[in-house]
C-alpha cells in the first residue's frame, strides 16, 4: 500500500516538477534486482524489442558536460529517431515558441526525491539514415534538423560542428512496455548492455504532472512489494553508457 504523502512533501515534489509536460518516474537496477524486476513485470521471451542507441559528442564529452545530449535510436518496433536533449533546464528559461514544435517536450525525471528537468526535441528518421551515419557514409548533420541545431545554440555557448563530433555506440538495448498485475500505470523496462559488457535495467512509468504525486507513491509501493529499492541507482543509464563508450575509444 502506498505511504501517506504529507502536505509538505506533496508541495515540495510539485514544486520540483512545475513547468513539465510529462513526468517520468524511474529507477535503475543491477545484479540480483534485475531478476526481481523481470518477475515483478512478468516479462517473458519475445516481449522486448531490440534498439541500437548512438550518441554524438567529442571524445572529452564536451557537450554532455555542458548538459547537451545528442542521440539517435534505431528501433525494431517503431520509427527511428534523433533527439537533442538539454539537461538540466529551467522551464522558465525555455522560450514558449518551442511548445509549438512537433516532438518538443519538457520532462521531469524523478529518481527517489531527486528531480531533473530536461527539454528535448525529437525528429523522426528514415529506416537506414542512422546506419549510414554510423558507418561513415553520411555526415552526422544529416540526422539533426535546423530546429534541433537551433535548440542546441540557445542553450550551449560553445561552437558546435556536428560533423566534427564522434559517433559513440551503438549501445544495444531491449525495451518492453508492460501492464503488470497490481500496477495502475504502464511500466517500461529497458535492458542496456554497456560497453564493458556489464548491464543494467531501468524501470519507469510516465504520467501527467497532475498525477505525479500519487503515481510516484503507487510506483514505490509496487517496487517495494516486490523487494526492489524504490530509490534505485542514482546514476543515469546515459551517463554510464557515455563513460563506457569513451573509455572504449581510448583503449583503441
Tally Cβ neighbours within 10 Å of residue 25.
25
Measured in residues, the chain has a length of 252
Distance CA 217, CA 4 (A): 8
Distance CA 183, CA 223 (A): 10
Q: What is the pLDDT of residues 176-185, one digit of tens each?
A: 999 988 889 9
The answer to whether residues 71 and 54 touch, using CB atoms and an 8 Å cutoff, is yes
Distance CA 219, CA 127 (A): 35
The C-alpha cell of 25 is what? 518516474
Instruction: Please report the pLDDT score of residue 177 as a whole number.
Output: 94
Closest residue by Cα to residue 238 from 55, 44, 14? 55
Instruction: Please report the pLDDT score of residue 31 as a whole number.
Output: 80
Q: What is the pLDDT of residues 32-87, one digit of tens each?
A: 888 888 888 888 767 899 999 999 999 999 999 999 999 999 998 778 999 999 99
**Residue percentage of the chain with pLDDT more than 70:** 96
- Find residue 116's DSSP bridge partners: 109
Instruction: Please report the pLDDT score of residue 252 as a whole number.
Output: 67
The chain-wide mean pLDDT, for the chain, equals 91
Radius of gyration for the chain, computed over Cα atoms and rounded to the nearest angstrom: 18
Cα dihedral 130, 131, 132, 133 sign: positive
* Pairing status of strand 166-178 against strand 187-193: antiparallel
Distance CA 81, CA 53 (A): 10
Q: What structural domains does the chain harbor?
A: 7-250 (2.40.320.10)
Distance CA 172, CA 116 (A): 25
Q: What is the pLDDT of residues 194-221, one digit of tens each?
A: 888 888 899 999 999 999 999 999 999 9
Q: What is the pLDDT of residues 73-111, one digit of tens each?
A: 999 877 899 999 999 999 999 999 999 999 999 999 998
The C-alpha cell of 109 is what? 525525471
CB burial class (10 A; 0-12, 13-18, 19+) of residue 71?
buried
Strands (E), the chain: 22-29, 49-57, 68-75, 80-86, 104-111, 114-125, 166-178, 187-193, 199-207
Amino acid at each position: 500500500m502506498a505511504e501517506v504523502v504529507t502536505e509538505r512533501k506533496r508541495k515540495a515534489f510539485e514544486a520540483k516538477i512545475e513547468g513539465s509536460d510529462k513526468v517520468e518516474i524511474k529507477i535503475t537496477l543491477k545484479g540480483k534486482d534485475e531478476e526481481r524486476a523481470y518477475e515483478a513485470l512478468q516479462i517473458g521471451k519475445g516481449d522486448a524489442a531490440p534498439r541500437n542507441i548512438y550518441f554524438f559528442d567529442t571524445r572529452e564529452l564536451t557537450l554532455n558536460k555542458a548538459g547537451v545530449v545528442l542521440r539517435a535510436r534505431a528501433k525494431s518496433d517503431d520509427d527511428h529517431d534523433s533527439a537533442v536533449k538539454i539537461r538540466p533546464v529551467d522551464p522558465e528559461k525555455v522560450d514558449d515558441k518551442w511548445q509549438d514544435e512537433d516532438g518538443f517536450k519538457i520532462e521531469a525525471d524523478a529518481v527517489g526525491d531527486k528531480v531533473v528537468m530536461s527539454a528535448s526535441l525529437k525528429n523522426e528518421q528514415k529506416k537506414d539514415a542512422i546506419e549510414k551515419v554510423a558507418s561513415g557514409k553520411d555526415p552526422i548533420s544529416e540526422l539533426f534538423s535546423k530546429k534541433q541545431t537551433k535548440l542546441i545554440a540557445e542553450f550551449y555557448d560553445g561552437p558546435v560542428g556536428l560533423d566534427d563530433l564522434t559517433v559513440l555506440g551503438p549501445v544495444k538495448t531491449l525495451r518492453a512496455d508492460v501492464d503488470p498485475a497490481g500496477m495502475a500505470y504502464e511500466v517500461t523496462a529497458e535492458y542496456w548492455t554497456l560497453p564493458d559488457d556489464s548491464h543494467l535495467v531501468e524501470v519507469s512509468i510516465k504520467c501527467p504532472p497532475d498525477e505525479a504525486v500519487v503515481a510516484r507513491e503507487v510506483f514505490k509501493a509496487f517496487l517495494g512489494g516486490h523487494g526492489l529499492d524504490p530509490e534505485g541507482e542514482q546514476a543515469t543509464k546515459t551517463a554510464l553508457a557515455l563513460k563506457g563508450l569513451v573509455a572504449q575509444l581510448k583503449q583503441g
